[in-house]
Amino acid sequence: MPLSRPPIPALRPFVELIWASEGASAPPSVSDSGPRRELVLPTGALHLVVRLSAQPLRVFRDSGDRQGHSVSTAVIGGARAAPYLRDISNPVPSLGALLRPGAAGLLVGAPANAFSGAHTPLEDIWGHGAVEDLRDRLAGTGSAERRLDLFEAALLQRLPSLTRIDPRVALALSGFAAARPVAAMASDLEISHRHFTALFRESVGLAPKTWCRLQRFGRALDRLAAEPQIAWAELAAAEGYADQAHFAREFRDFAGLTPGAYRRRAPAAPRHVPL
């Protein structure tokens, strides 16, 4: 299991969680039909991942793509509203950071919407030398705990002089957490709906309505993980969907699977579905 924890206090305005995984010592697992793949469901967050192996992240366009596309050994995973397929044939030691909405771009060094819906090589933003130096130092450290300490120190060096996100975005995120409608939030901020959408998308990586839909979907996944046998109609009502059909449509949009197909696969982690 990956080791995970909140970051040091100086990073908490920007980073929600850091983690380290040792990968696997078993040989690559590739079936006759191709590599093992995993469907990764969206969270709406921006992720930063560093792999301590020469094997880059490999993703697939769709279920019919058998070749895949190699990205990099260090990747920025942008906010997205759709799942993606990745190769999990040979897990490798990795470290990652889950960045906070609205603050992610400040730490990475570019607006969050520059990464939306895509995987971007980290060296494109930080430079090849800086990334390879970080990977070398991490790979030369024996324990996951010590690697996390080094990873934190590297992120700390990237802290901008600005120590908080745009207060309008912070207020919007707080309002959305309290189920405040998008139009009402724009009105509260005394800016036009178009301006508010552009501001939010630049800071978070997704439009505010999509963000709110995705957070509700995430809550549904968490409830389903806690109550695996819950009836679909009960789950839909509990999370505020208009009806079960509305819930099913949203589920297919974000997961690429029907709720029934998802339940039959019974993923051990709610957002990581083995295929």
**pTM (2 decimals)?**
0.88
Residue type at position 155 = L
CA gap 172, 170 in Å, rounded: 5
Same domain, 176 and 220: no
The answer to whether residue 162 sits within a structural domain is no
CA gap 235, 100 in Å, rounded: 27
The answer to whether residue 214 sits within a structural domain is yes
Same domain, 180 and 88: no
- Domain of residue 241, CATH code: 1.10.10.60
The answer to whether residue 16 sits within a structural domain is yes
CA gap 266, 273 in Å, rounded: 8
Q: Which residues of 59-82 are buried (b: 16+ CB within 10 A; e: fewer)?
A: bbeeeeeeebeebbbbbbbbbbbe
Q: What is the dihedral of CA 60, 66, 67, 70, to 10 degrees?
A: 30
Q: Which of 82, 87, 84, 83 is nearest to 70 (CA)?
A: 87
Same domain, 62 and 126: yes
Residues spanned by the domain of 266: 209-274
Residue type at position 136 = D
C-beta separation of 171 from 188 below 8 A: yes
Same domain, 96 and 119: yes
pLDDT digit of tens for each residue in the chain (275 aa)?
Answer: 689 999 999 899 899 999 999 876 444 444 445 679 999 999 999 999 999 999 999 999 988 898 899 999 999 999 999 999 999 998 999 999 999 998 888 888 889 999 999 999 999 999 999 999 999 999 998 889 999 999 999 999 888 665 678 899 999 999 999 999 999 999 999 999 999 999 999 999 999 999 999 999 999 999 999 999 999 999 999 999 999 999 999 999 999 999 999 999 989 899 999 88
Same domain, 137 and 15: yes
The answer to whether residue 11 sits within a structural domain is yes
